[in-house]
Amino acid sequence: QQQVKQSPQSLIVQKGGISIINCAYENTAFDYFPWYQQFPGKGPALLIAIRPDVSEKKEGRFTISFNKSAKQFSLHIMDSQPGDSATYFCAAEISGSARQLTFGSGTQLTVLP
Amino acid sequence: GAGVSQTPSNKVTEKGKYVELRCDPISGHTALYWYRQSLGQGPEFLIYFQGTGAADDSGLPNDRFFAVRPEGSVSTLKIQRTERGDSAVYLCASSLKGFKTDTQYFGPGTRLTVL
């Protein structure tokens, strides 16, 4: 079964700190790894995504680190802000014509002021 | 509207009843997806439409679930003989052409509660 395992389940960080969320996958056919941010009552919104041909991608305060050999990837949020408080989901998409995203179980991030 | 819209936002029904959930994708988006999100979990893929046809329905849990997109725009997810285990938030997403590089934009979801 295709799976993406995400940790931690919840994370509390002080304002200005670094938030780190980790994901691991099993299926080597995955070739697209997006991260989604979800606020209560809203649908998930794409935050940043990476392909396995690069080891890191940075967009503003958000960075994805990717380790293909370990089949792991992580999201780093630098200078975390209270407005970043949300649930974060990693996801993976398999190569080929199928366009289904397989999501992790989510990390509830709380950034304290 | 500018985003994906879903109606109703909340639906409460009784076990055994039939429900329909509607999704209006972003105008011009040919690809449409349905996901189900249970409490405390990530979204789970149900079905993907490319135009009017279901390109991948491998995520539908059983034959009580069915989805249509007759004109290639609005989609309806239909659930027959609802069960308490069907209670979840049903999310719809759309993307421009369904290419792998296309972002999937999600709607706010319909929260279904089966009593």
Is residue A82 within 8 A of residue A99, CB to CB? The reply is no
CA-to-CA distance for A79 and B108, rounded, in angstroms? 28
Task: Name the residue in chain B with its Cα closest to that of A95.
Answer: B100
Q: What is the pLDDT of residue B85?
A: 95
Let me know if residue B109 belongs to a domain: no
CA-to-CA distance for B75 and B93, rounded, in angstroms? 11
Task: Please judge whether A43 and B91 are an interchain contact, meaning their C-beta atoms are less than 8 angstroms apart.
Answer: yes
Is residue A88 within 8 A of residue A22, CB to CB? The reply is no
> Of all residues in chain B, what percent carry a pLDDT higher than 70?
99
Q: Where residue B48 sits, what CATH number does that domain have?
A: 2.60.40.10
B25 lies within 8 A of chain A by CB: no
What DSSP letter does each residue of A9-37 carry, written as one string? SEEEEETTS-EEEEEEE--TTEEEEEEEE
> What's the number of domains chain B is made of?
1
Please name each of the domains of chain A with its CATH number: 4-112 (2.60.40.10)
Place of tokens 């011009």: B28
Q: pLDDT digits over B74-92, tens only?
A: 999 999 999 999 999 999 9
Task: Name the residue in chain B with its Cα closest to that of A93.
Answer: B100
Quick one: average pLDDT of B6-30?
Answer: 97
Averages of pLDDT over runs of 10 residues in chain A (113 residues) are 87 97 93 94 94 93 95 97 97 78 95 96
